[in-house]
Amino acid sequence: MRLIQLFKKELSHEARTWVRDELVSEQQANSILARYGTSLNDDTDKNSFGYYLLMSLGVLFIGLALILIVSHNWDEIPRSIRTGSLLLLTLVTNAVGIKLFLSKRIRAGIIWLLFGGMSYGASIMLIAQIYHLGEHFPDGIFWWALGILPLVVFTQSRLLALLSLSLASIWLVVESGEDFFPTLYPIFISVTLWLTLFQARSRLLFLSCVVGLLVWINLGLAWIMGSGYHFDPVAEQLPFSLGLGLIINGVAWWLMRADKSDWREYGLVVHIWLLRAAIITLLVFSFEGVWEEYPSDQSWLSVISVIFILVSGMLAFRLSRASGRYASLPTLMLTGYLTFSFYLVSAFSHMEFISAIATNLMLLLMGILLIRRGIDQSETHYFYTGIVVLLLTAFIRYFDLIGDYIGGAVLFLVAAGILMAAAKYWKHHVTLIALKQGGHSE
Amino acid sequence: MNTMTVPGWLHKKPGKRTIQIGLILTLFFQLSVLSIEYLGSVLPIWTGEEIILKTEPVDPRSLFRGNFVRLNYEINRIPTEPQTEFKMGSLIYVSLVEINGIWQFDTFNTAKPKMGTYIRGRVRRVDSGTVRVEYGIEAFFMPKEKALKVQNEMGGQAQVRVFVAPNGKARAVGFKCLGDACL
């Protein structure tokens, strides 16, 4: 799937100027835009959206002001009046929101429901303050998020979903910070995924769900390691996270082949962010010291984690195979490299050096493949990412030598050899294509 | 292109009647949460027995709830046998005994005691020989100036008035006057 899909609003805007300048007809412009899942009318309500966005932000600020006002401790006002006022505010704001929403004034209704949601949260916090509740305070945030969640289902509002998911994510952080496992977090993820996949498009919400789910699974693993009593993250968890990354990348490629344009966009966005995350991870792993942190004992956990990478890689390959070599080849390469490196480090001692070299070679291959992909698919993003990967690898290795000066020099020479061989192959490939085209024209 | 059969209900938009009922039920749910929180807060005060606990105030600030003094009670740390195992967050009942007007730790039990004055708490941390228990009365909200006054003038000598309900749930209601420090 082409990156241009992510700029369809800009494309729609450009197409309107082409029609205005009589370069293309309205019908032609719409035909072109239809290829990208958009139309000339796609962005015409941007003024009303701007109004909606600013109003929503205004409500958010009012909500924050409300929380600060009630946090002031109004000792002089009787407790029952303070509590009653907050309950009344929650009732009135939500009731107005419901009335407006049901009378087809959807956006106004949602803004009032957002305000109602803020009032509801402020009320939870204020009652806790008035009666000096020192109990587990993340519960308050959880009930706040949960109280807004049904509104997401019934209004299908992305704004309310964002509020609910943000609150749930804050709860995830503070709950685990207090050494409790946020078991119910997937409820919020499920509802938001349902909204974004089947009802309303939002790349931000979809990506947030993927990140939230990854964090939750990792917390779950750490919780299991701590025997379900406390979090005990271990180094062996890392291969599990990387395996999950492989699976999600496979799902991203699968989404990019979906019939629905929204799903294709989600797949592309997830793939791009995973690509960035993979490059950063590889750059971190390119240091020998990082591998030294990994335990070199063949425990059952390290064996399972290597098997998990292998199984994840196979699953990812199966999901991405139909999307072509730029989908399946990196999956195979990464699976092979991760399985090899983690197995080597956990099964034998003093193998960090080999794993670090393997990572550097992997970075080189990744860079070459990205440059190739960028040129083949005429996508400058991949081309320049490939260049950056190669330059960063060279820069890091120049200052952080592996195996002293001679070892570093050998590594650079091997890298140069690979780059030149790639260039030669490329030239050969281009010549072959030219010959074929010449043959066809004759 | 992938073709996948998705159950129809996932795509289906709820009808007007469903939305109407759903939104009203949501509002009812929100108000119920607030009412339960309110009743849970006031019931120990309405039905409970007043006791005095010794505490030490410190002064943090809550992100959501404003200024408060954190109260460290003597009964927050209770002595246990080193081998005793506790599950994090599990309920614990601490029986109290009155000595010179201050209620102090007597014994603890994981089951609700049949008689006497006891307070219900949850295990928060287990150390060798002690367990940290929290009772939901560890925060006392007040304006910053008052919080600082409590911290400075009462120091480690503060005494808090607490109501304990028959089920052991406790609610702090105020500080007992000590010399000039009276709130």
Residue B123 in tokens: 């295990």
Nearest by CB to A71, which of B25, B41, B66? B66
The rounded percent of chain B whose pLDDT value lies above 90 is: 21
User: Residues of B with CB below 8 A from A124's CB?
Assistant: 33-34, 37
Amino acid letter, A344: L
Rounded mean pLDDT of chain B? Answer: 82
Nearest Cα residue to A154 out of A94, A64, A218 = A94
Residue A120 in tokens: 């509801």
Nearest by CB to A73, which of B25, B134, B141? B141
The rounded percent of chain A whose pLDDT value lies above 70 is: 93
Rounded mean pLDDT of chain A? Answer: 86
Amino acid letter, A218: N
Nearest Cα residue to A210 out of A229, A198, A196 = A196
CA distance A246 to A331: 7
Torsion, Cα of A4, A10, A16, A22 (10° steps): -60
Residue pLDDT, tens place only, B51-83:
888 887 765 555 555 667 788 888 888 888 777
Which residue in the block uniquely carries the two structure tokens 């979906």? A258
For A281-406, strand residue ranges (E) read: none
- In the stretch 2-61 of chain B, residues with CB closer than 8 A to chain A read 2-4, 6, 10-11, 13-14, 16, 18-20, 22-27, 29-31, 33-35, 37-38, 41-42, 45
The SS3 assignment for B159 reads strand
| A259·B1 Cβ contact <8 A | yes
User: What is the Cα Rg of chain A in Å?
Assistant: 27
The SS3 assignment for A397 reads helix
ipTM > 0.90? Answer: no
Pairing of strands B91-99, B117-127: antiparallel
| B65·A137 Cβ contact <8 A | yes
CA distance A334 to A368: 14
If one counts every other C-beta atom within 10 angstroms of the C-beta of residue A333, the result is 15
CA distance B106 to B100: 14
User: Residues of B with CB below 8 A from A98's CB?
Assistant: 23-24, 27
Q: Within 13 Å, how many C-alpha atoms sit on residue A120's CB side?
A: 32
Residue pLDDT, tens place only, A93-110:
999 999 999 998 888 899
If one counts every other C-beta atom within 10 angstroms of the C-beta of residue A377, the result is 15
Mean pLDDT value across residues A49-74: 75
DSSP string, A249-275: HHHHHHHHTBSSHHHHHHHHHHHHHHH
Residue pLDDT, tens place only, A209-221:
999 999 999 999 9
Nearest by CB to A229, which of B1, B41, B88? B88
How much is the pLDDT for A252?
A: 95
CA distance A190 to A57: 26
Contact B139, B109 (CB under 8 A): no
How much is the pLDDT for A36?
A: 77
The CA distance from B75 to the nearest CA of chain A, in Å, is 15
User: Residues of A with CB below 8 A from B11's CB?
Assistant: 198
How much is the pLDDT for A169?
A: 97
The CA distance from A38 to the nearest CA of chain B, in Å, is 19
User: Residues of B with CB below 8 A from A131's CB?
Assistant: 38, 41-42, 45, 171
The pLDDT of residue A147 is above 90:
yes
The pLDDT of residue A235 is above 90:
no
Looking at chain B, which residue has its C-alpha nearest residue A127? B38
CA distance A268 to A263: 9
How much is the pLDDT for A281?
A: 93
Q: Which of A72, A76, A112, A133 to mutate to test the interface with B (most CBs of B within 10 A)?
A: A133
Write down the pTM of the prediction. Answer: 0.82
| A127·B173 Cβ contact <8 A | no
How much is the pLDDT for B178?
A: 57
Amino acid letter, A303: V
CA distance A357 to A362: 9
The pLDDT of residue A156 is above 60:
yes
Residues whose CB is less than 8 angstroms from the CB of residue A280 and which lie 6 or more positions away in sequence, other chains included: none
Boundaries of every domain in chain A: 1-41, 49-73
Residue B154 in tokens: 């009462």
Encode burial over A228-251: b for 16+ CB neighbours within 10 A, e otherwise: eeebeeeebbbbbebbbbbbbbbb
How much is the pLDDT for A23?
A: 87
Contact A310, A340 (CB under 8 A): no
How much is the pLDDT for A90?
A: 93
CA distance A201 to A19: 27
Residue A247 in tokens: 């699976």
Contact A272, A311 (CB under 8 A): no
Nearest by CB to B2, which of A71, A197, A257? A257
Encode burial over B162-180: b for 16+ CB neighbours within 10 A, e otherwise: bbbbeebbbbbbebbeeee
User: Residues of B with CB below 8 A from A324's CB?
Assistant: none
Looking at chain A, which residue has its C-alpha nearest residue B146? A73
**A130 confidence band (pLDDT: 50, 70, 90):** confident
Residue pLDDT, tens place only, A402-413:
667 777 777 778
Nearest by CB to B29, which of A150, A229, A258? A150
| A127·B13 Cβ contact <8 A | no
Contact A54, A60 (CB under 8 A): no
Contact A327, A321 (CB under 8 A): yes
Please list the alpha-helical segments (H only) found in A131-179.
138-155, 158-177
Amino acid letter, A326: Y
The SS3 assignment for A183 reads coil
Mean pLDDT value across residues B8-32: 89
The pLDDT of residue A44 is above 70:
no
DSSP string, B39-101: HHHHHHHHH-EEEEEEEEEE--EETTTEEEEEEEEGGGEEE--TT----TT-EEEEEEEEETT
| B137·A124 Cβ contact <8 A | no
- In the stretch 111-170 of chain B, residues with CB closer than 8 A to chain A read 122, 134-143, 146
Among A246-260, A374-388, B111-125, where is mean pLDDT lowest?
Answer: A374-388
How much is the pLDDT for A214?
A: 94
